[in-house]
DNA sequence: CTTGATATGTCAACGACACTGACGTATCCG
DNA sequence: CGGATACGTCAGTGTCGTTGACATATCAAG
């Protein structure tokens, strides 16, 4: 299988690892470039995008849960959430069972902006998927899943349904 | 090469795209967590890591070239490069053909630190590769390569061939 | 050899985004 | 009632990026 019939299965040479590292570095940067440009025009940044994304993904999410996903402090979230609320992108509502909670949701303006940001990345990702092909996409998911820590894997695993068998991973 | 509009092979549902987005978000964060922790003890940050990495990767690199790779300003680089030089991790030497250039290389201390940071990520990546399997790794590379812009693709592409890699060869 | 471009360094100010620490308030729960 | 929890906020700090301006050494060309 491997060109050089060296070791049997997967010979993890350093070069191979460094290649992957650079793919992650350049890939992540180029993947976020589109939204970054859009947000810059609105005086917002990547942090705003993350909030819009996860609030859109989990309508009615609590502040605590959002903090856990983003792994930032409430002070950091506040700095970015306040403008989003003031700008009419996000609304708060008090929890019905627990009135201390402020459940977050997107307004229609928030949904529109999130959609715009999403489409920018969707286009790039869809092209990469199409060019790579179905089996490659499946491999991409497997490898990326292996990079996630236990917490993130659990979070993302909740919706892994259609993505095929999850990686056989030991979650230390 | 741009077969637009057909959903034949790969049905790019939104859910699938969002799943990949989250893999990239969580994956990149968890992938950088190891080095971040090591660097924090040394009073350094991710920017220092990137300089160590690429200087180690390209010994004798010019400042201009490093700036082009990182896509930051020389002021930003200076703030991070100066401590690395003062700390004995990086050395400068004047270019032999062009004495205006300051060619950058790692000292043995720099190599040791870079190696330590590398090993932290290598362990995680190697485990993810092993768990996912060879074909999955190949798919991972294909998809990630598709996310790179032309410039980054050319940059990493320079060593896809020269690596003598068991990588199946052509890209995309 | 002067002249203009290039490679690099640096000062100064600023912005985004994270942090810690501390305090205040509303609400839940036992 | 009283402690724990959910959230908000003020104040200060640090990393890492930016723009703008200016200095210096060196190259390359007329």
For B129-162, the pLDDT digits (tens) are 999 999 999 999 999 999 999 999 999 986 655 4
Cα–Cα distance, B124 to B135 (Å, whole number):
18
Note whether B29 and A147 are within 8 A (CB). Answer: no
**What domains are defined for chain A?**
14-158 (1.10.10.10)
The proportion of chain B whose per-residue pLDDT surpasses 90, expressed as a percent, equals 83
Q: Nearest Cβ partner of B136 from A12, A139, A169?
A: A139
The residue among B148, B144, B141, B146 whose CA lies nearest residue B169 is: B141
Where does the pLDDT of residue B56 fall: very low under 50, low under 70, confident under 90, or very high at 90 and above? very high
Q: Tokens for A66?
A: 């959002």
Does an H or E element contain A16, and which?
A: helix A14-41
DSSP 8-state secondary structure symbol assigned to residue B164: T
Q: Is A136 exposed, middle or buried (0-12, 13-18, 19+ CB in 10 A)?
A: buried
Q: Tokens for A94?
A: 């008090």
Q: How far is the CA of A91 from the C1' of D8 (A)?
A: 16
Is it the case that residue A69 has pLDDT exceeding 80? yes
Q: What is the pLDDT of residues A108-167, one digit of tens each?
A: 999 999 999 999 999 999 999 999 999 999 999 999 999 999 999 999 986 655 444 433
Q: How far is the CA of B9 from the C1' of C18 (A)?
A: 42
Pairing of strands A102-106, A90-94: antiparallel
ipTM, 2 dp? 0.87
Q: What is the pLDDT of residues B22-33, one digit of tens each?
A: 999 999 999 999
Pairing of strands A102-106, B90-94: unpaired
The proportion of chain A whose per-residue pLDDT surpasses 70, expressed as a percent, equals 84
Interior angle at CA A109, CA A104 and CA A115, nearest 5: 90
Place of tokens 């092909």: A133
Tell me how close the Cα of B15 comes to any Cα of chain A, in angstroms: 9
């Amino acid at each position: 299988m491997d060109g050089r019939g060296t070791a049997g299965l997967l010979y993890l040479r350093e070069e191979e690892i460094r290649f992957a590292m650079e793919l992650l570095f350049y890939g992540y940067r180029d993947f976020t470039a589109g939204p970054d440009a859009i947000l810059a025009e609105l005086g917002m940044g990547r942090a705003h995008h993350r909030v819009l994304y996860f609030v859109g993904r989990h309508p009615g999410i609590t502040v605590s849960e959002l903090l856990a996903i983003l792994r930032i402090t409430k002070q950091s979230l506040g700095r970015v959430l306040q403008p989003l609320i003031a700008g009419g992108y996000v609304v708060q509502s008090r929890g019905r069972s627990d009135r201390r909670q402020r459940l977050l949701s997107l307004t229609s303006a928030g949904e529109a902006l999130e959609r715009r940001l999403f489409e920018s990345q969707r286009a790039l990702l869809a092209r990469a998927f199409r060019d790579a092909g179905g089996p490659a996409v499946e491999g991409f998911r497997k490898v990326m899943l292996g990079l996630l820590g236990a917490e993130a894997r659990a979070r993302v695993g909740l919706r892994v349904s259609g993505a095929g068998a999850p990686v056989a991973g030991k979650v230390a």
